[in-house]
């Protein structure tokens, strides 16, 4: 009898130990998942961060405005230098054709003169194909005396993030594919000042990843370094993709990004990352700041698209340039009243 009771007590003790261990594991797992979700998908708003953009009712660049030489002009990079806006826009001779990056200039940021100049054309094997492909969707930042352009090299099958640099905005040196072993990659948005001793870049077009560099040329990343994901039920439920290069503000690192829903409707939102930890989300827009509404945003090569790619701050105004329906360049302007730009 004593032996039987001893065996029973032993089984009870073992069972209690196993149950207690299981509870610890479950508690840790729930804590880990909760913390991960909070850091990635929080939609908590900061009351003092209000981005209210007013759209121009007509596109500022159209195929007609450059003499019908191209069937689509969209998704530009724009930089402001010595009183002049330089726009590097994606151009296709016909819809879904090969993409080139061309240059236009403006004094007021609204009325552009096309220089009839291709500054980036397909030359790499990753950019060449029979139909489609080419060089797409540039973003530009300046570090010291050099301009760096990220763009998408597309061979008609795989999109790859590419890098080029220039001293004068006219002559560009291609530096090649940023992540040769990554495969599909695109939309590189670089913060042009160092955080914790390194430059950072947000990139991707399903999730948003982060990459680091010490020299703006060689970049390190990992597939596990996801900093922003789509959110079910929101305007960005299907995918998220960086927009213009991020800016450093007194509230954090502001990244304006593009999101698509399940109907492939592209809208523009924003996310604020910590200045101390560029992977940590502080706040995220619950509603888009731009979305397809006007006829030229809802009809075109790809309908229902507002896709932001450039942000320029001049005279206390924010000029947000975007591609509309993969056919035109649109512009929305906001007064800079709620953000103190650290690196503006």
CATH of the domain at 103: 2.115.10.20
> What is the C-alpha R_g of the chain?
24
Inform me whether the pLDDT recorded for 32 exceeds 60: no
Q: Are residues 24 and 142 in the same domain?
A: no
What is the per-residue pLDDT for 343?
58
Do 134 and 264 lie in a common domain? yes
Q: Which CA distances in Å does 179 have to 73, 163, 185, 242? A: 27, 10, 8, 17
pLDDT exceeds 50 at position 35:
no
For tokens 């590189």, what's the residue?
A: 188
Residue 33 has pLDDT above 50, yes or no: no
The answer on 248 and 230 residing in a single domain is yes
State how far the Cα of 17 lies from the Cα of 244, in Å rounded to an integer: 54
Taking alpha carbons only, the member of 98, 58, 109 closest to residue 297 is: 58
- For the entire predicted model, the pTM comes to 0.85
Strands 247-248 and 253-260, how do they pair? antiparallel
Angstrom distances, CA of residue 233 to CA of 71, 230, 255: 35, 9, 21
Those residues with Cβ within 8 angstroms of residue 142's Cβ, 6 or more apart along the chain or in another chain: 79, 148, 192
First to last CA, the chain: 83
Q: By residue range, what is the domain housing residue 9?
A: 1-41
Q: How many domains does the chain have?
A: 2
Q: Are residue 3 and residue 61 in the same domain, yes or no?
A: no
Q: What are 77-104's pLDDT values in tens digits? A: 999 999 999 999 999 999 999 999 999 9
Mark whether 17 and 95 lie in a shared domain. Answer: no
Same domain, 56 and 77: yes
Do 27 and 165 sit in the same domain of this protein? no
CA angle 138, 140, 142 (to 5 degrees): 165
Q: Are residues 176 and 318 in the same domain?
A: yes
Q: Is residue 341 part of a domain?
A: no
User: Does the residue 192 lie in any domain?
Assistant: yes
Residues 286, 145, single domain; the answer is: yes
Q: Indicate if the pLDDT at residue 242 is higher than 70.
A: yes
Measured distance CA(330)–CA(290) in Å, rounded: 11
Q: Which position has the higher pLDDT, 62 or 24?
A: 62
- Min mean pLDDT across 128-132, 141-145, 290-294 is at 128-132
pLDDT of residue 67: 84
CA distance 113 to 249: 32
Residues 113 and 10 in one domain: no
């Amino acid at each position: 009898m004593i032996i039987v009771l001893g065996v029973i007590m032993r089984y009870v003790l073992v069972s209690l130990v196993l149950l207690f261990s299981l509870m610890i594991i479950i508690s840790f797992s729930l804590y880990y998942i909760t913390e991960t979700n909070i850091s990635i998908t929080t939609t908590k708003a900061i009351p003092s961060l209000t981005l209210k953009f007013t759209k121009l009712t007509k596109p500022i660049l159209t195929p007609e405005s450059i003499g019908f030489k191209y069937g689509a002009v969209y998704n530009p990079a724009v930089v402001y230098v010595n009183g002049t806006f330089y726009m590097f826009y994606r151009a296709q001779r016909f819809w879904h054709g090969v993409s080139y990056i061309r240059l236009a200039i403006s004094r007021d940021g609204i009325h552009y003169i096309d220089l009839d100049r291709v500054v980036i054309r397909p030359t790499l094997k990753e950019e060449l194909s029979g139909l489609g492909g080419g060089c797409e969707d540039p973003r530009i930042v300046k570090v010291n005396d050099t301009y760096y352009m990220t763009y998408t090299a597309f061979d008609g099958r795989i999109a790859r993030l590419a890098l080029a640099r220039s001293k004068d905005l006219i002559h560009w040196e291609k530096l090649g594919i940023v992540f040769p072993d990554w495969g599909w990659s695109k939309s590189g948005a670089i913060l042009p000042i160092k955080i914790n001793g390194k430059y950072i870049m947000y990139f991707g077009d399903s999730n948003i990843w982060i990459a680091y560099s010490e020299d703006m040329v060689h970049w390190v990343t990992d597939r596990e370094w996801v900093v922003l994901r789509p959110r079910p039920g929101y305007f960005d439920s299907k995918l998220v993709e960086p927009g213009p290069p991020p800016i450093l503000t007194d509230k954090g690192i502001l990244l304006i990004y593009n999101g698509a829903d399940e109907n492939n409707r592209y809208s523009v939102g924003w996310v604020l990352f910590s200045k101390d930890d560029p992977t940590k989300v502080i706040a995220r827009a619950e509603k888009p700041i731009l979305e397809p509404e006007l006829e030229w945003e809802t009809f075109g090569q790809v309908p229902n698209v507002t896709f932001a790619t450039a942000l320029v701050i001049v005279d206390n105004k924010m000029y947000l340039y975007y591609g509309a329906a993969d056919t035109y360049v649109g512009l929305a302007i906001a007064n800079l009243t709620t953000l103190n730009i650290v690196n503006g």
